[in-house]
Structure 1
Amino acid sequence: MIRKTLNASRLQNEVNRRIHRVHEIVEDGVKIRVPRPQKQPPDASGCNWTMKHFGNAIGYERVVDEVLKAVRAEYNLGDADNAKDINSLFGE
């Protein structure tokens, strides 16, 4: 399967969205802090990023791992969030 590419912010948002849609998390009213993805050399599956140190996730590690596994199978981390030159945004 060919992975889609997302920047760090969008990847973080996607993991956050999926975690907070899991019935168990919604039912318990838990807010889990999702860290920024960290680029790494591609692993055996071809995924080039990881996330560590989720906040407020004690007792929900299984859920977080399942979501992370699914998202890592679908997406790779693209280049930096600032792919465009910031000066071009202001016409400079």
Structure 2
Amino acid sequence: MIRRALTATRLQQEFECRLHRLYHIADDGVKIRVPRPRVQPPDASGCDWTLRHFSNAAGYKKDIAAVLAAMRAKSNLAGEVARPDDPFDT
């Protein structure tokens, strides 16, 4: 499958939009903070990014995981390079 190449900002925005469109999240009025995508070596599926450390996400882990799986299956990071010496990559 060909993946769309999106910038980290665009991935973050699209993830946030998809997550907050889910009925029960919208109905609860919850605002989950979506972190910036982090580049990683491509995994077995070919995805080269991940998201970690969501804020205000208690009770919505399954929803986050579902949106994350769907987006990781179709998108890769454009123009991002892994830096092994990045002190902020946790």
Which category describes the TM-score, using the shorter chain as reference length? Answer: 0.7 to 0.9
* Residue matched to 2:59: 59
| 1:8 CA displacement | 0.5
| 1:28 CA displacement | 0.5
| Inter-partner Cα distance in structure 2 for 1:15 and 1:57 | 14
Q: Deviations over 1:38-80 (max 9, x none)?
A: 0000000000000000110010000000001001111000104
What letter corresponds to residue 59 of structure 1 in structure 2?
G
Deviating 4+ runs (over 2 angstroms): none
| Inter-partner Cα distance in structure 1 for 2:78 and 2:39 | 9
Instruction: Show structure 2 runs of 5+ residues with no match.
Output: 81-90
SS of 1:30's equivalent?
coil
Instruction: Show structure 1 runs of 5+ residues with no match.
Output: 81-92
| 1:3 CA displacement | 0.4
| Inter-partner Cα distance in structure 2 for 1:28 and 1:74 | 28
What letter corresponds to residue 61 of structure 1 in structure 2?
K
Larger radius of gyration: 1
* Residue matched to 1:3: 3
Identical columns (%): 57
Structure number with higher helix proportion: 1
* Corresponding position: 1:74 with 2:90: no
| Inter-partner Cα distance in structure 1 for 2:58 and 2:40 | 25
When the two structures are superposed, what TM-score results if normalisation uses the length of structure 1? Answer: 0.85
When the two structures are superposed, what TM-score results if normalisation uses the length of structure 2? Answer: 0.87
| Inter-partner Cα distance in structure 2 for 1:17 and 1:68 | 12
* Count of aligned residue pairs for this structure pair: 80
